[in-house]
Amino acid sequence: MKFCPLFSGSSGNATYIATEDCALLIDVGLPASTIEKALRQNGIDPSSIDGILVTHEHSDHIAGLGPFSRRYDVPVYANLPTWDAMNGKVGAVATKNARVFTNGQDFYIGDMGIRPFSTPHDSASSVGYSLFYKGKQFTYMTDIGCFSASLLEEAKGADLVFLESNHDLDMLKNGKYPAYLKRRILSNRGHLSNKDAGDALIKLCESGVRRVMLGHLSRENNTEDVARDTALAALIGHGIKPFTDISIGIARRNTPGRLVQL
């Protein structure tokens, strides 16, 4: 199983995950041409994509979805409430490429097992994904207002967890965002703070997770250094040795990551 964080943040999100016989994107939140370029930078042919998994209907997750699907005749997978919420936002998707799943019910695309699970976010019916192949598990969860027991259960023991670490609490509270937007971000259906991500990392490590990538960092209310330092402090404060007991990476907002093997 191979993984590449293409883009992650409020400016747009897209993640590549592939096996020997199946290549998928989780979200297409930037123009299709931008996604194509990022894929090619990692030696990936955009026409090789077998499916697009949609987390939810917010623009930073679907901005390039319709054009990419039409250009490469790629099936799009989302639950019914998300399809309804995307109506009028992504343009026409061929009937044969509009695939519907039910949260919590496993399905396959090629040789990859996929389990969509509900996540707490202010959207129609947002989901994260666990993907399975030959005993490996990759779990993707961003846009989560809180890290619940059900999310821990979903991610425990995964080979790699992609976890939101959206904002620094002080930067957000003292920043320029209007009050209503701050309340939205801070709510249990908003975005996960660095502090809450640090607390989640402790639980994930205790569950057997040994590799985490932090993503969906806010442009205005976070930095890579602040997110990383908060995570490391939480782990060290709990007696966990970073990069020995668990490794931490950062997915960048505007720069495609490198292709890595799980």
Sheet holding 160-164, edge to edge: 107-109, 112-118, 127-133, 136-141, 160-164, 211-215, 247-250
17: part of which helix (H) or strand (E)? strand 14-18
Model pLDDT, residue 26: 98
Number of domains observed in the structure of the chain: 1
Model pLDDT, residue 216: 97
Q: How confident is the model at residue 49 (pLDDT cuts 50, 70, 90)?
A: very high
Q: Which residues contact 232 (CB under 8 A, 6 or more apart)?
A: 242, 248
Model pLDDT, residue 168: 98
Distance CA 93, CA 244 (A): 46
Q: Which residues contact 109 (CB under 8 A, 6 or more apart)?
A: 22, 24, 50, 51, 75, 77
Q: What is the pLDDT of residues 74-107, one digit of tens each?
A: 999 999 999 999 999 999 999 999 999 999 999 9
Model pLDDT, residue 114: 98
- Cα separation values, 222 from 19, 45, 126, Å: 33, 33, 23
- The conformation of residue 143, written as its DSSP 8-state character, comes to S
Spatial contact of 231 and 17, defined as CB atoms under 8 Å apart? no
> Residue 175 is part of a domain; what is its CATH number?
3.60.15.10
Supply the range of the domain harboring residue 43: 2-261
Kindly report the pTM of this predicted structure. 0.97
